[in-house]
């Protein structure tokens, strides 16, 4: 049995200001297959460390330079082509700069408590649980159900 597999590596970061606000990116449904309010992040480049990638992605997508990002968990699943898709989840409240939007989406600070009232990306509320609950470290989508939804395991 092979011990290796094809993998897609990505990251996502929750940036908090200590006053109940987080940075979000509003992804355009005309441009992306999944859209709505999401946390910033992106793909890990070849030969790039996980830390370097989250710092770079946050800078590119928000204009903020983050410091001390802490790995708090991961989200993963297998694509329709049976490629494992990993999202490393980071959290920080150490940053410099001012948020700016990019072609990837509008970026702004929002009250974290207001997220349930917003048009969110597919599983953002589930992800928030992983970011905030020290007893959770993984969100794994294990199977696609007949109605198109996936079964989640924590």
- Give the model confidence (pLDDT) of 126-147 as tens digits: 999 999 999 999 999 876 555 5
Q: Is the pLDDT of residue 149 over 70?
A: no
In terms of pTM, does the model score above 0.85? yes
**CATH class of the domain comprising 7-153:** alpha beta
Whether 70 has a pLDDT exceeding 60, the answer reads yes
Residue 51 · residue 45 · CB < 8 Å:
no
Residue 67 pLDDT exceeds 80: yes
Average pLDDT, the chain: 91
What is the pLDDT, as a whole number, of residue 153? 55
Q: Look at the block and give the residue holding tokens 């992306």.
A: 32
Spans of all domains in the chain: 7-153
Tell me the mean pLDDT in the region 20-35.
Answer: 84
> What's the token pair of residue 142?
């294990």
pLDDT over 60 (residue 46): yes
- pLDDT computed for residue 28 by the predictor: 75
Number of H helices, E strands in the chain: 2, 11
């Amino acid at each position: 049995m092979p011990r290796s597999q094809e993998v897609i590596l990505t990251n996502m970061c929750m940036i908090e200001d200590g006053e109940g606000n987080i940075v979000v990116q509003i992804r355009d449904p005309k441009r992306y297959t999944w859209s709505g309010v999401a946390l910033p992040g992106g793909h890990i480049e070849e030969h790039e460390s996980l830390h370097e990638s989250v710092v770079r992605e946050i800078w590119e997508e928000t204009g903020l330079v983050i410091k001390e990002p802490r790995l708090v968990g991961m989200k993963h699943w297998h694509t329709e082509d049976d490629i494992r898709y990993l999202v490393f989840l980071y959290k920080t409240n150490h940053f410099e700069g001012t948020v700016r939007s990019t072609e990837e989406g509008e970026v702004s600070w929002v009250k974290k408590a207001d997220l349930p009232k917003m048009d969110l990306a597919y599983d953002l509320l589930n992800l928030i649980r992983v970011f905030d609950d020290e007893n959770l470290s993984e969100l794994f989508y294990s199977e696609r159900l007949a109605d198109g939804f996936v079964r989640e395991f924590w």
